[in-house]
Structure 1
Amino acid sequence: MSLGIIGGTGLTSLEGLEITRREVVRTPFGEPSAPLVHGCFRGYNVTFLARHGHNHSIPPHQVNYRANIWALRHVGVEQVVAVAAVGGIGEAYAPRRLAIPDQIIDYTHSRESTFFDQDAADVTHVDFTYPYDARLRRWLLAAAAEAGIEVVDGGTYAATQGPRLETAAEIQRLRRDGCDLVGMTGMPEAVLAREAELAYAHCAVVANWGAGLAEGQTVSMDDIRDNLTYGMDLVRQLIASLAPKFEG
């Protein structure tokens, strides 16, 4: 089983990856965010893709999610761990925590969100009751436990349009809707992976409290950068613990 890692803000490259080759993939949906990077991480083969480009120059609403997922499937990736920075809404989702969500609500708009809108003989529906692959989630949780990394098991991810951050009122709305985390890249990436029959799970790095939740404070970009530096180091440890599960 081939493991793919999609890196978001704070993880534009996978430190410690011994690169064997870079591959430019042409897709029917245009250019992916970056060349695919194939290599060996802690002795195990992985394929890495920088969601926002290697220079972090592509904003969330302009990521070519279809090209990214198509490219990973094309080169033989079967399992995808998507890493992304998020804001915390629920009490358990404090900055610097990692979470493996189990549900998602899509608040995005005007994004190309399906592979099945061109030259389709019939209308195609995919089941999306449980948007994240159950087995891959279990492996992520087990890998975290083996590495001694505390993660939050479960939670609902709110996918917002971006690139701006949310207002305090919007965060309160998301809380009323039952959301625990808020980010800008969870959709349509997750549903495209389902359409492409890829096992997909999300590793969320909480970079900040949602707007208005830290009393008397606005969201600080400096705090976000510090929290991401800390959190992404945990992500690398988690991936190192996860990778052996894909051998053989």
Structure 2
Amino acid sequence: MGRTKLAVIGGSGIYDIEGLEGAEWVRVDTPWGAPSDAILTGTLAGTDMAFLPRHGRGHVHSPSSVPYRANIDALKRLGVTDVISVSAVGSFREEMAPGDFVVVDQFIDRTFARDKSFFGPGCVAHVSVAHPTCPRLSTACVSAARGAGVTVHDGGTYLAMEGPQFSTLAESRTYREAWGCDVIGMTNMPEAKLAREAELCYASVAMVTDYDSWHPDHGEVDVTRIIATLQGNAAHARAMITAVAPALGGDRAPCPHGCDRALDFAIITQPDARDPAVTARLDAVAGRVLG
């Protein structure tokens, strides 16, 4: 039995939580560069917590420039076991209205300008992301959100686009009608893939801010309206996190879905062929299996 340490990756409005004890901003060095920002650590309802502003305080990173590898590596170095990603999305479904939450369980990755793996030449690995989120952690998020009075949808497919521009009308219609996606955002990939490589349980809570551009009655995406909706969503997200922390508890059993053992059979490169410089960078994310 280990200890739970819950990380929340999200915007600045998420981590201002009443009741966080021993709050301290800490800086973490990683072999992948600096994370988006310092990380706020503390304890909430007996659960160790870490809050990472994905875009940095003041929103200094675009979706493409977020240092995803450094962020996940830094959380792993802090002893994090579970990650809740909180992010803004557009909706492709009438019933997934602005202000609602969608606890995502699938992704289509359309990003192209980001480093998507910790592994590569010198140490090759292939993890499964058939089911890219952790059902146990996702269920806890659904229950906590409902308990906080949020309209939450259990399951959905998230289209990850590169950005920073929003979709064309043709793209929006394609993602909705031909591909069957439910929401669209710019930040959950490669974050979810890297969390799996780092053997972290990962849940994605998508906060709907708009209907993207497909909706005939809402027109094109308006940033001012998105920000206004986000402010209301942030209060709901704080309430959800305040509820989910005690639900997870301080003691942690192995993940029943194997998220924390994702690397058991993933590394393909034989030990005597591994590049020591590459494996040295993997000390946090893959140290359990690399020794």
User: Normalized against structure 1, the TM-score is what?
Assistant: 0.93
Counterpart-to-counterpart distance in 1, 2:104 and 2:153: 8
Point out the more displaced range, 215-224 or 96-105. Answer: 215-224
Q: 2:227 is paired with a residue of what secondary structure?
A: helix
Once the two structures are overlaid, the 10-residue window that deviates more, 111-120 or 197-206, is 111-120
Shift of 1:40: 3.2
Work out the CA distance in 2 between the residues paired with 1:139 and 1:79.
11
Higher Cα radius of gyration: 2
Task: Among all aligned residue pairs of Structure 1 and Structure 2, give the percentage whose two residues are the same amino acid.
Answer: 40
**Cα deviation digits, residues 49-100 of structure 1 (max 9, x gap):** 0000011110000000000000000110000000000001122211111110
Structure 2 counterparts to residues 79-228 of structure 1, below 5 A: 79-120=82-123, 123-175=124-176, 176-215=178-217, 217-228=219-230
Distance (whole Å) between structure 1 residues aligned to residue 14 and residue 137 of structure 2: 22
Note the alpha carbon deviations across 1:129-182, whole angstroms, 9 max, x for none: 101001101111122233332201111000000111111111111111111000
In 2: Cα distance, 1:42 partner to 1:59 partner: 33
Structure 1 pair 19/52, CA: closer, same or farther in 2 (3 Å)?
farther
Code of the aligned partner of 1:96: G
Verify the 8 A CA contact 2:10 2:86 in the aligned structure 1.
yes
For residues 168 and 14 of structure 2, the distance between their equivalents in structure 1, rounded to whole angstroms, comes to 27
Matched letter for residue 203 of structure 2: A
Secondary structure at the aligned position of 2:23 is classed as strand
For 2:118, the aligned partner's letter is: F
Give every structure 1 segment of 4 or more consecutive aligned residues whose post-TM-superposition deviation is greater than 6 Å.
Answer: none
Asked if the contact 1:14/1:48 (under 8 Å) is kept, the reply is no
Number of corresponding residues:
245
What code does the residue aligned with 1:213 have? H
Q: Distance in 2 between matches of 1:226 and 1:19?
A: 31
Question: Equivalent residue of 1:239, what SS?
Answer: helix
1:110 to partner: Cα distance: 2.1
1:85 alignment partner AA: A
5+ residue gaps in structure 2?
Answer: 252-291
How far apart in 1 are the matches of 2:220 and 2:106?
Answer: 27
Task: Report 1:62-73 matches (<5 A).
Answer: 62-73=65-76
1:198-218 CA-partner distances (Å, limit 9, x unpaired): 000001110111113142622
Q: CA deviation at 1:183?
A: 0.1
Is 1:32 equivalent to 2:35 in the alignment? yes
